[in-house]
């Protein structure tokens, strides 16, 4: 398959990112220069020059818009009708070309149209393959032990998401995300995992889990990805990411098990993300301070949202009332969402607030009470 030019890659990226058409536009981070760089593999500093070429050819239009998660306008790009037509022709032409594909450990030449029939393979994978498409690595398995938390509203965690991305690309084996109750550590992990396309995911909700549950789940997961046993070390080479959600009050047996596994995976490609409360006692942690110093384990401490993002959750609220609510809740998203719903019982159950404090905050927020 011939090598695609930078402008061709951008056309494909904007085509695959979905239309951003007036009047609603529907722009996302993928339509920004940073998003285009990440989606095409083109160096960020080279993007402006490439966009200038496409704009001059009337294939792309540029504007400045607000994007969810950012507090300022960014340059964004959309395909023109001519650009959209050009992208369609480009996709059609690519499908008729041949590419070297790795399938079940062996390389062979196949048509791109045939490669697209394999699970997990898309045009973007063809674009980023640089002529060698590893189909084995693109087959992605995701299994859950327990339910994932909902992330219908997500605000201002771009820095933290960036740190998680750096962890996934770096040498550390474990990332522990610490936050207070309701700070959104679990939601942050869900959002980060949703963007991971090249790893097999094992998500484990740790609440009320025994070691037998863990062994049984990892055994099933291991069978699905084709590894030899439920030991994490045996999954080396299978691009595995394990998420241990709500790690807090766990048994000594659980701590010992993952402490042993940590020692085994230090020289593997296994990654583990742990979400935990800020005040998790040291005896409940399966790593030591030396593991942090040596770079095997990284810690990410998250705080509540800034007042401007708290206001987005609460809606139309007086600045003075917002300041008082912020001081009481420390900007924790869960508290704010329950406050907005007027759910007194739920807010009392997940916090140390008194009923009087909750009712006072609801009065400040101007919400109806349950």
- Answer yes or no: do 180 and 208 share one domain: yes
Q: Is residue 133 part of a domain?
A: yes
47 and 121 belong to one structural domain = no
Of all residues in the chain, what percent carry a pLDDT higher than 70? 94
Residue 151 clears pLDDT 70, i.e. is over it: no
160 and 220 part of one domain: yes
Does any domain span residue 225?
yes
Give yes or no for residue 20 having a pLDDT over 90.
no
C-beta neighbour count of 200 within 10 angstroms: 22
Q: What average pLDDT score do residues 323-343 get?
A: 83
Are 121 and 176 within one domain?
Answer: no
User: pTM value?
Assistant: 0.58
Do 196 and 278 sit in the same domain of this protein? Answer: yes
Domain end marker among 301, 328, 347: 301
Contacting residues for 123 by C-beta, under 8 A, at least 6 apart: 12, 16, 91, 94, 116
Give the separation between CA 125 and CA 118, rounded to whole angstroms: 12
Identify whether residues 22 and 131 lie together within a single domain. no
> Per the domain annotation, does 347 fall within a domain?
yes
Do residue 119 and residue 23 come from a single domain? Answer: no
Residues 161 and 254 in one domain: yes
**312 in the same domain as 285:** no
Name the percent of the chain lying above pLDDT 90: 45
- Residue 105 is predicted with a pLDDT of 66
Average pLDDT (182-198) is 82
Q: Domain total for the chain? A: 4
Please determine, for residue 29, whether its predicted confidence score (pLDDT) is greater than 60.
Answer: yes
Query: Is 277 within a domain?
Result: yes
Residue 27 lies in a domain: yes
> 20: domain CATH number?
1.10.10.10
Does 110 map to a domain? yes
Strands 60-66 and 73-79: antiparallel
Among residues 328, 247, 158, 188, which one has the least CA distance to residue 338? 328
- Binned at pLDDT 50, 70 and 90, residue 179 comes out as confident
Residues 342 and 213 in one domain: no
Phi, psi of 133 (to 5 degrees): -105, 115
Is residue 230 assigned to a domain? yes
Q: Is the domain of 153 the same as that of 291?
A: yes
Given 301, 321, 354, the domain boundary residue is: 301
The chain-wide mean pLDDT, for the chain, equals 87
In terms of C-beta density within 10 A (0-12 exposed, 13-18 middle, 19 or more buried), how is residue 219 classed?
middle
pLDDT interval class at 24 (50, 70, 90): low
The boundaries of the domain holding residue 128 are: 96-139
Q: What is the pLDDT of residues 264-318, one digit of tens each?
A: 999 999 999 999 988 888 889 999 999 999 999 999 988 777 777 778 778 888 8
Residue 185 phi, psi (nearest 5): -65, -45
Domain annotation covers residue 370: no
* 208 pLDDT tier (thresholds 50, 70, 90): confident
Q: Are residues 203 and 322 in the same domain?
A: no
Give the pLDDT score at 77.
Answer: 94
Distances (CA, A) of 57 to 6, 79, 221, 239, 253: 14, 11, 50, 41, 64
Of the residues 139, 169, 192, the one at which a domain ends:
139
Segment 169-177 mean pLDDT = 94
Q: Which CATH number do you get for residue 166?
A: 3.40.50.300
């Amino acid at each position: 398959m011939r090598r695609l030019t930078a402008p061709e890659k951008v056309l494909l990226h904007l085509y695959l990112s979905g239309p951003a058409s007036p009047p609603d536009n529907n722009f996302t981070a993928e339509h920004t220069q940073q998003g285009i760089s990440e989606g095409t593999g083109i160096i960020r500093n080279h993007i402006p020059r490439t966009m200038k070429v496409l704009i001059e050819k009337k294939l792309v239009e540029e504007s400045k818009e607000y994007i969810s998660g950012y507090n300022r306008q960014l340059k964004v790009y959309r395909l023109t009708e001519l650009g959209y037509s050009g992208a369609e022709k480009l996709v059609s032409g690519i499908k008729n070309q041949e590419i070297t594909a790795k399938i079940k450990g062996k390389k062979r030449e196949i048509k791109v149209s045939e490669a697209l029939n394999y699970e997990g393979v898309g045009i973007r994978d063809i674009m980023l393959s640089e002529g060698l498409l590893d189909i084995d690595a693109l087959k992605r398995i995701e299994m859950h032990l327990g339910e994932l938390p909902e992330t219908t509203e997500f605000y201002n965690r771009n820095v933290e998401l960036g740190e998680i991305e750096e962890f996934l690309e770096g040498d550390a084996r474990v990332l522990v995300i610490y936050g207070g109750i309701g700070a959104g550590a679990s939601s942050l992990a869900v959002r980060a995992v949703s963007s991971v396309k090249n790893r097999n995911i094992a998500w484990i909700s740790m609440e009320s889990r025994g070691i037998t549950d863990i062994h049984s789940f990892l055994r099933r997961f291991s069978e699905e990805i084709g590894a030899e046993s439920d030991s994490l070390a045996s999954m080396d080479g299978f691009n595995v990411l394990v998420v241990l959600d709500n790690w807090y009050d766990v048994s000594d047996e659980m701590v010992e098990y993952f402490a042993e596994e940590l020692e085994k995976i230090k020289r593997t490609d296994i990654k583990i993300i742990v979400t935990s409360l800020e005040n998790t006692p040291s005896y409940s942690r399966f790593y030591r301070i030396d593991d942090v110093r040596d770079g095997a384990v990284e810690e990410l401490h998250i705080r509540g949202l800034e007042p401007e993002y708290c206001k987005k959750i609460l809606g139309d609220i007086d600045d003075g009332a917002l300041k008082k609510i912020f001081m009481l809740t420390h900007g924790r998203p869960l508290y704010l969402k329950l406050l907005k719903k007027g759910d007194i019982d739920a807010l009392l159950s997940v916090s140390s607030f008194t009923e009087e404090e909750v009712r006072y905050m609801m009065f400040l927020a101007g919400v109806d009470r349950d």
